[in-house]
Structure 1
Amino acid sequence: MLSLSAALAVSQAGFAYQDSSVEYDYADVLSVDPIVETVSEPVERQVCRREPVQTYQPQYAYQDRRHRDPTGATVLGAIIGGALGNTVGRGDGRRAATIAGAVIGGAIGHDNARRGRYVETGGSYRTHYEDVCSVQTDYQEEERVVGYDVTYRYNGRVYHTQTDHHPGDQIRVEVAVSPAF
Protein backbone atom coordinates (compact mmCIF):
# COMPACT_ATOMS: atom_id res chain seq x y z
CA MET A 1 0.00 0.00 0.00
CA LEU A 2 2.86 2.33 0.72
CA SER A 3 4.42 1.87 -2.73
CA LEU A 4 1.11 2.64 -4.47
CA SER A 5 0.69 5.94 -2.62
CA ALA A 6 4.35 6.82 -3.26
CA ALA A 7 3.97 6.16 -6.99
CA LEU A 8 0.79 8.23 -7.06
CA ALA A 9 2.52 11.13 -5.32
CA VAL A 10 5.44 10.97 -7.76
CA SER A 11 3.17 10.98 -10.87
CA GLN A 12 1.11 13.86 -9.55
CA ALA A 13 4.23 15.91 -8.94
CA GLY A 14 5.21 15.61 -12.61
CA PHE A 15 8.19 13.37 -11.99
CA ALA A 16 9.00 10.07 -13.61
CA TYR A 17 6.54 7.23 -13.23
CA GLN A 18 6.63 3.64 -14.30
CA ASP A 19 4.20 1.91 -16.73
CA SER A 20 4.86 -1.79 -17.39
CA SER A 21 8.67 -1.61 -17.29
CA VAL A 22 8.81 1.60 -19.37
CA GLU A 23 9.26 4.93 -17.63
CA TYR A 24 7.98 8.27 -18.87
CA ASP A 25 8.82 11.80 -17.83
CA TYR A 26 8.38 15.33 -19.11
CA ALA A 27 11.11 17.49 -20.63
CA ASP A 28 11.13 21.25 -21.06
CA VAL A 29 10.62 22.42 -24.66
CA LEU A 30 13.24 24.96 -25.72
CA SER A 31 12.01 25.75 -29.25
CA VAL A 32 9.35 24.68 -31.74
CA ASP A 33 9.80 25.41 -35.45
CA PRO A 34 7.04 24.54 -37.92
CA ILE A 35 7.92 22.35 -40.90
CA VAL A 36 6.27 24.06 -43.88
CA GLU A 37 5.57 22.33 -47.18
CA THR A 38 4.33 24.05 -50.34
CA VAL A 39 1.42 22.18 -51.90
CA SER A 40 -0.08 22.88 -55.32
CA GLU A 41 -3.85 22.36 -55.21
CA PRO A 42 -6.08 22.20 -58.33
CA VAL A 43 -8.86 24.79 -58.36
CA GLU A 44 -11.58 24.40 -60.98
CA ARG A 45 -13.53 27.36 -62.30
CA GLN A 46 -16.10 27.80 -65.01
CA VAL A 47 -15.21 30.23 -67.79
CA CYS A 48 -17.97 31.45 -70.10
CA ARG A 49 -17.87 33.57 -73.24
CA ARG A 50 -20.53 34.74 -75.68
CA GLU A 51 -20.11 33.47 -79.22
CA PRO A 52 -22.11 34.44 -82.30
CA VAL A 53 -24.21 31.70 -83.90
CA GLN A 54 -25.76 32.11 -87.36
CA THR A 55 -28.98 30.34 -88.28
CA TYR A 56 -30.81 30.33 -91.59
CA GLN A 57 -34.47 31.40 -91.45
CA PRO A 58 -36.20 30.27 -94.67
CA GLN A 59 -39.29 32.08 -95.98
CA TYR A 60 -42.09 30.17 -97.66
CA ALA A 61 -44.91 31.17 -99.96
CA TYR A 62 -48.01 29.20 -100.91
CA GLN A 63 -48.12 28.28 -104.60
CA ASP A 64 -51.59 27.67 -106.02
CA ARG A 65 -51.52 25.06 -108.80
CA ARG A 66 -55.23 24.65 -109.50
CA HIS A 67 -54.94 26.28 -112.93
CA ARG A 68 -52.06 24.08 -114.02
CA ASP A 69 -52.55 21.29 -116.59
CA PRO A 70 -52.37 17.94 -114.66
CA THR A 71 -52.09 15.71 -117.78
CA GLY A 72 -48.36 14.99 -117.56
CA ALA A 73 -48.49 14.17 -113.86
CA THR A 74 -51.56 11.93 -114.38
CA VAL A 75 -49.90 9.94 -117.20
CA LEU A 76 -46.65 9.58 -115.24
CA GLY A 77 -48.53 8.41 -112.14
CA ALA A 78 -50.49 5.85 -114.22
CA ILE A 79 -47.28 4.45 -115.75
CA ILE A 80 -45.56 4.10 -112.41
CA GLY A 81 -48.67 2.64 -110.72
CA GLY A 82 -49.19 0.16 -113.60
CA ALA A 83 -45.54 -0.97 -113.44
CA LEU A 84 -45.81 -1.55 -109.70
CA GLY A 85 -49.14 -3.39 -110.08
CA ASN A 86 -47.63 -5.61 -112.79
CA THR A 87 -45.17 -7.03 -110.25
CA VAL A 88 -48.02 -8.45 -108.12
CA GLY A 89 -49.90 -11.70 -108.79
CA ARG A 90 -50.06 -14.15 -111.77
CA GLY A 91 -52.27 -14.47 -114.81
CA ASP A 92 -55.59 -12.59 -114.55
CA GLY A 93 -54.63 -11.37 -111.07
CA ARG A 94 -51.58 -9.69 -112.55
CA ARG A 95 -53.69 -7.90 -115.19
CA ALA A 96 -56.14 -6.73 -112.53
CA ALA A 97 -53.26 -5.50 -110.32
CA THR A 98 -51.70 -3.66 -113.31
CA ILE A 99 -55.00 -1.91 -114.09
CA ALA A 100 -55.64 -1.06 -110.44
CA GLY A 101 -52.06 0.27 -110.08
CA ALA A 102 -52.43 2.42 -113.21
CA VAL A 103 -55.75 3.88 -112.00
CA ILE A 104 -54.49 4.58 -108.46
CA GLY A 105 -51.14 5.99 -109.73
CA GLY A 106 -52.94 8.24 -112.23
CA ALA A 107 -55.28 9.53 -109.49
CA ILE A 108 -52.38 10.28 -107.18
CA GLY A 109 -50.44 12.04 -109.95
CA HIS A 110 -53.53 14.10 -110.94
CA ASP A 111 -54.24 15.09 -107.32
CA ASN A 112 -50.61 16.00 -106.68
CA ALA A 113 -50.44 18.19 -109.79
CA ARG A 114 -53.51 20.17 -108.71
CA ARG A 115 -52.69 20.48 -105.02
CA GLY A 116 -51.14 23.73 -103.83
CA ARG A 117 -47.89 23.65 -101.96
CA TYR A 118 -45.46 25.79 -100.07
CA VAL A 119 -42.22 26.64 -101.76
CA GLU A 120 -39.17 28.34 -100.36
CA THR A 121 -38.88 31.86 -101.72
CA GLY A 122 -35.67 32.85 -100.00
CA GLY A 123 -34.56 33.45 -96.48
CA SER A 124 -32.09 35.23 -94.33
CA TYR A 125 -29.31 34.50 -91.90
CA ARG A 126 -29.81 35.69 -88.35
CA THR A 127 -27.10 36.04 -85.76
CA HIS A 128 -27.72 35.46 -82.09
CA TYR A 129 -25.31 34.92 -79.25
CA GLU A 130 -24.96 31.87 -77.05
CA ASP A 131 -22.95 31.35 -73.88
CA VAL A 132 -20.25 28.74 -74.34
CA CYS A 133 -18.79 27.55 -71.06
CA SER A 134 -15.89 25.30 -70.14
CA VAL A 135 -14.18 24.25 -66.93
CA GLN A 136 -10.60 25.39 -66.50
CA THR A 137 -8.24 24.08 -63.86
CA ASP A 138 -5.75 26.43 -62.25
CA TYR A 139 -3.22 25.43 -59.62
CA GLN A 140 -2.96 27.43 -56.44
CA GLU A 141 0.09 27.07 -54.25
CA GLU A 142 -0.50 26.92 -50.54
CA GLU A 143 1.88 26.52 -47.63
CA ARG A 144 0.92 23.95 -45.00
CA VAL A 145 2.44 23.03 -41.68
CA VAL A 146 3.14 19.29 -41.86
CA GLY A 147 5.00 18.91 -38.57
CA TYR A 148 7.24 20.56 -36.02
CA ASP A 149 10.97 20.47 -35.26
CA VAL A 150 11.15 20.37 -31.48
CA THR A 151 14.23 21.08 -29.35
CA TYR A 152 13.93 20.02 -25.71
CA ARG A 153 16.12 19.58 -22.60
CA TYR A 154 16.08 16.55 -20.36
CA ASN A 155 18.52 15.98 -17.47
CA GLY A 156 20.78 18.80 -18.69
CA ARG A 157 21.11 17.43 -22.23
CA VAL A 158 19.51 18.94 -25.38
CA TYR A 159 17.60 16.72 -27.85
CA HIS A 160 15.79 17.18 -31.15
CA THR A 161 12.73 15.43 -32.55
CA GLN A 162 9.90 15.95 -35.01
CA THR A 163 6.21 15.80 -34.08
CA ASP A 164 2.98 16.07 -36.02
CA HIS A 165 1.49 18.50 -33.48
CA HIS A 166 2.70 21.43 -31.39
CA PRO A 167 3.90 19.99 -28.06
CA GLY A 168 3.38 23.05 -25.87
CA ASP A 169 5.80 23.92 -23.03
CA GLN A 170 6.65 20.31 -22.16
CA ILE A 171 7.02 17.13 -24.13
CA ARG A 172 6.52 13.60 -22.82
CA VAL A 173 9.64 11.48 -23.15
CA GLU A 174 10.30 7.77 -22.67
CA VAL A 175 13.12 7.02 -20.27
CA ALA A 176 14.90 3.73 -20.86
CA VAL A 177 16.83 2.44 -17.92
CA SER A 178 19.01 -0.57 -18.37
CA PRO A 179 21.81 -1.98 -16.30
CA ALA A 180 25.35 -1.21 -17.37
CA PHE A 181 27.79 -4.15 -17.33
Structure 2
Amino acid sequence: MVKGIVVGAVAVTALAAGGVGYKVMTKPVFAEVVAAKEVKETVKTPREECEDVAVQHQAPVKDEHRIAGTVVGAVAGGLLGSAIGGGTGKKVATVAGAAAGGYAGNRVQKNLQEKDVQTTTERRCKTVYDTSVKHLGYDVTYRLDGRQDVVRMAFDPGQQIPVKDGKLVLDPPAKN
Protein backbone atom coordinates (compact mmCIF):
# COMPACT_ATOMS: atom_id res chain seq x y z
CA MET A 1 0.00 0.00 0.00
CA VAL A 2 2.82 2.37 0.77
CA LYS A 3 4.16 1.55 -2.62
CA GLY A 4 0.80 2.59 -4.19
CA ILE A 5 0.76 5.87 -2.29
CA VAL A 6 4.29 6.70 -3.39
CA VAL A 7 3.54 5.82 -7.00
CA GLY A 8 0.33 7.86 -6.84
CA ALA A 9 2.12 10.87 -5.34
CA VAL A 10 4.82 10.70 -8.01
CA ALA A 11 2.17 10.47 -10.71
CA VAL A 12 0.20 13.49 -9.33
CA THR A 13 3.39 15.51 -8.99
CA ALA A 14 4.43 14.67 -12.55
CA LEU A 15 1.00 15.57 -13.90
CA ALA A 16 0.93 18.87 -11.96
CA ALA A 17 4.42 19.76 -13.13
CA GLY A 18 3.47 18.83 -16.67
CA GLY A 19 0.37 21.05 -16.45
CA VAL A 20 2.40 24.01 -15.22
CA GLY A 21 4.95 23.39 -17.90
CA TYR A 22 2.17 23.30 -20.47
CA LYS A 23 0.77 26.58 -19.22
CA VAL A 24 4.22 28.20 -19.30
CA MET A 25 4.78 26.85 -22.77
CA THR A 26 1.45 28.26 -24.03
CA LYS A 27 1.81 31.91 -22.98
CA PRO A 28 -0.32 34.11 -25.29
CA VAL A 29 1.54 35.70 -28.22
CA PHE A 30 -1.23 38.24 -28.92
CA ALA A 31 -3.85 40.16 -26.95
CA GLU A 32 -7.27 40.39 -28.60
CA VAL A 33 -8.35 43.98 -29.39
CA VAL A 34 -11.95 44.51 -28.34
CA ALA A 35 -12.20 48.19 -29.37
CA ALA A 36 -9.96 51.05 -30.46
CA LYS A 37 -11.24 54.60 -30.04
CA GLU A 38 -9.35 57.53 -31.56
CA VAL A 39 -8.58 60.25 -28.99
CA LYS A 40 -8.48 63.87 -30.20
CA GLU A 41 -8.12 67.23 -28.53
CA THR A 42 -9.39 70.55 -29.87
CA VAL A 43 -6.73 73.22 -29.47
CA LYS A 44 -7.55 76.96 -29.55
CA THR A 45 -4.62 79.19 -30.43
CA PRO A 46 -5.08 82.93 -29.82
CA ARG A 47 -3.76 85.53 -32.24
CA GLU A 48 -4.23 89.26 -32.59
CA GLU A 49 -6.03 90.65 -35.64
CA CYS A 50 -5.69 94.40 -36.30
CA GLU A 51 -7.17 96.84 -38.80
CA ASP A 52 -6.95 100.58 -39.42
CA VAL A 53 -10.33 102.33 -39.10
CA ALA A 54 -11.31 105.86 -40.12
CA VAL A 55 -12.85 107.58 -37.09
CA GLN A 56 -14.59 110.96 -37.03
CA HIS A 57 -14.28 113.26 -34.04
CA GLN A 58 -15.89 116.63 -33.50
CA ALA A 59 -13.42 119.37 -34.32
CA PRO A 60 -12.30 121.53 -31.38
CA VAL A 61 -14.70 124.43 -30.83
CA LYS A 62 -13.10 127.88 -30.85
CA ASP A 63 -16.23 129.85 -29.82
CA GLU A 64 -17.75 127.77 -27.01
CA HIS A 65 -20.51 130.26 -26.17
CA ARG A 66 -21.37 130.87 -29.85
CA ILE A 67 -20.99 134.64 -29.43
CA ALA A 68 -20.27 135.25 -33.15
CA GLY A 69 -23.48 133.48 -34.25
CA THR A 70 -25.53 135.25 -31.61
CA VAL A 71 -24.19 138.73 -32.56
CA VAL A 72 -24.55 138.20 -36.32
CA GLY A 73 -28.08 136.82 -35.81
CA ALA A 74 -29.06 139.69 -33.51
CA VAL A 75 -27.80 142.33 -35.99
CA ALA A 76 -29.60 140.65 -38.90
CA GLY A 77 -32.80 140.21 -36.85
CA GLY A 78 -32.64 143.83 -35.65
CA LEU A 79 -32.27 145.09 -39.22
CA LEU A 80 -35.22 143.00 -40.39
CA GLY A 81 -37.30 144.09 -37.38
CA SER A 82 -36.57 147.79 -38.00
CA ALA A 83 -37.88 147.44 -41.54
CA ILE A 84 -41.30 146.55 -40.15
CA GLY A 85 -43.76 149.04 -38.76
CA GLY A 86 -43.30 152.62 -37.71
CA GLY A 87 -42.99 154.65 -34.48
CA THR A 88 -43.10 152.69 -31.23
CA GLY A 89 -43.96 149.50 -33.12
CA LYS A 90 -40.74 149.90 -35.06
CA LYS A 91 -38.68 149.88 -31.83
CA VAL A 92 -40.55 146.84 -30.51
CA ALA A 93 -40.10 145.05 -33.85
CA THR A 94 -36.37 145.91 -33.87
CA VAL A 95 -35.87 144.57 -30.32
CA ALA A 96 -37.96 141.45 -31.05
CA GLY A 97 -36.12 140.91 -34.33
CA ALA A 98 -32.74 141.28 -32.60
CA ALA A 99 -33.74 138.76 -29.86
CA ALA A 100 -35.12 136.23 -32.34
CA GLY A 101 -32.14 136.75 -34.68
CA GLY A 102 -29.67 136.33 -31.78
CA TYR A 103 -31.32 133.04 -30.77
CA ALA A 104 -31.46 131.80 -34.38
CA GLY A 105 -27.80 132.76 -34.97
CA ASN A 106 -26.75 130.89 -31.82
CA ARG A 107 -28.60 127.73 -32.99
CA VAL A 108 -27.15 127.96 -36.52
CA GLN A 109 -23.60 128.24 -35.15
CA LYS A 110 -24.24 125.29 -32.79
CA ASN A 111 -25.38 123.06 -35.71
CA LEU A 112 -22.35 124.10 -37.79
CA GLN A 113 -19.99 123.34 -34.90
CA GLU A 114 -21.55 119.90 -34.33
CA LYS A 115 -21.15 119.02 -38.00
CA ASP A 116 -17.53 120.21 -38.11
CA VAL A 117 -15.62 116.91 -37.82
CA GLN A 118 -12.06 115.72 -38.21
CA THR A 119 -11.26 112.26 -39.53
CA THR A 120 -8.35 110.32 -38.05
CA THR A 121 -7.15 106.74 -38.50
CA GLU A 122 -7.10 104.49 -35.44
CA ARG A 123 -5.66 100.99 -35.17
CA ARG A 124 -8.16 98.60 -33.60
CA CYS A 125 -7.14 95.11 -32.54
CA LYS A 126 -9.02 92.10 -31.23
CA THR A 127 -8.07 88.58 -30.19
CA VAL A 128 -9.34 85.79 -32.43
CA TYR A 129 -8.89 82.05 -31.92
CA ASP A 130 -7.77 79.54 -34.52
CA THR A 131 -8.95 76.02 -33.72
CA SER A 132 -7.22 72.82 -34.71
CA VAL A 133 -7.61 69.17 -33.81
CA LYS A 134 -4.64 67.37 -32.28
CA HIS A 135 -4.44 63.56 -32.53
CA LEU A 136 -3.47 62.11 -29.13
CA GLY A 137 -3.61 58.41 -30.01
CA TYR A 138 -6.02 55.53 -29.48
CA ASP A 139 -7.61 54.19 -26.30
CA VAL A 140 -7.48 50.45 -26.99
CA THR A 141 -9.59 47.98 -25.02
CA TYR A 142 -7.96 44.53 -25.13
CA ARG A 143 -8.41 41.06 -23.62
CA LEU A 144 -5.41 39.05 -22.34
CA ASP A 145 -5.46 35.94 -20.13
CA GLY A 146 -9.20 36.33 -19.56
CA ARG A 147 -8.82 39.92 -18.26
CA GLN A 148 -9.97 43.05 -20.09
CA ASP A 149 -8.08 46.36 -19.80
CA VAL A 150 -7.44 49.64 -21.66
CA VAL A 151 -4.15 51.10 -22.90
CA ARG A 152 -3.38 54.28 -24.87
CA MET A 153 -1.42 53.63 -28.04
CA ALA A 154 0.08 55.98 -30.63
CA PHE A 155 -1.40 53.96 -33.49
CA ASP A 156 -4.44 51.78 -34.23
CA PRO A 157 -3.21 48.22 -33.59
CA GLY A 158 -5.85 46.48 -35.67
CA GLN A 159 -7.30 43.22 -34.26
CA GLN A 160 -4.35 42.13 -32.08
CA ILE A 161 -1.55 43.52 -29.95
CA PRO A 162 1.69 41.51 -29.82
CA VAL A 163 2.66 40.13 -26.39
CA LYS A 164 6.24 39.34 -25.32
CA ASP A 165 7.10 37.81 -21.94
CA GLY A 166 3.53 38.40 -20.77
CA LYS A 167 3.61 42.16 -21.58
CA LEU A 168 2.04 44.14 -24.43
CA VAL A 169 4.38 45.36 -27.18
CA LEU A 170 3.19 48.95 -27.67
CA ASP A 171 5.79 50.04 -30.25
CA PRO A 172 4.50 50.60 -33.77
CA PRO A 173 5.37 47.84 -36.20
CA ALA A 174 8.57 48.36 -38.19
CA LYS A 175 7.97 49.78 -41.67
CA ASN A 176 9.38 47.73 -44.53
TM over 0.5: no
Q: Give the number of the structure whose residues are more often helix, by fraction.
A: 2
Q: Which has the higher strand share?
A: 1
Give me the TM-score of the superposition, normalised by structure 2: 0.39
